[in-house]
Amino acid sequence: MAPFYDLVCTRAVVTINHHLAFSIGGEKNPDNLIGKHWNQFAVQCDLRTGFVRNQVESIAVKLMEQLQPTRERFQSFYGEYDALQRVERVVIQQCRRALREFSNPR
């Protein structure tokens, strides 16, 4: 399991490098990830491309379902925290992008 510092949403912090620590199918910029990168990632990991695609889609859907309730629960304990709204926007944007990519693969 990765240390918690690996779970930081760097895309929500302006002063941090937004590139991934490890590439996905040779791509480190999340804005440039397309289906072919996920397919290459599957090949590199010796997994079926359909399996990887289903996992990415499933995780994206579950993340979008849980973002708001999780943020609200956190804020009920600790109060308002502006960075959480930024994280929520970034995660929703990336999840929607991944789902669009798989519904319209290049």
Q: What is the mean pLDDT of residues 55-66?
A: 94
Residue labelled with tokens 């695609």: 53
* pLDDT tier, 77 (very low <50, low <70, confident <90, very high otherwise): very high
Residue 93 above 80 pLDDT? yes
pLDDT computed for residue 5 by the predictor: 59
Contacts 24+ apart (CB under 8 A), 24-31: 30/94
Residue 85 above 80 pLDDT? yes
Residue labelled with tokens 């491309």: 49
pLDDT computed for residue 66 by the predictor: 93
* pLDDT tier, 6 (very low <50, low <70, confident <90, very high otherwise): low
The whole-model pTM stands at 0.81
Q: What is the mean pLDDT of residues 99-105?
A: 78
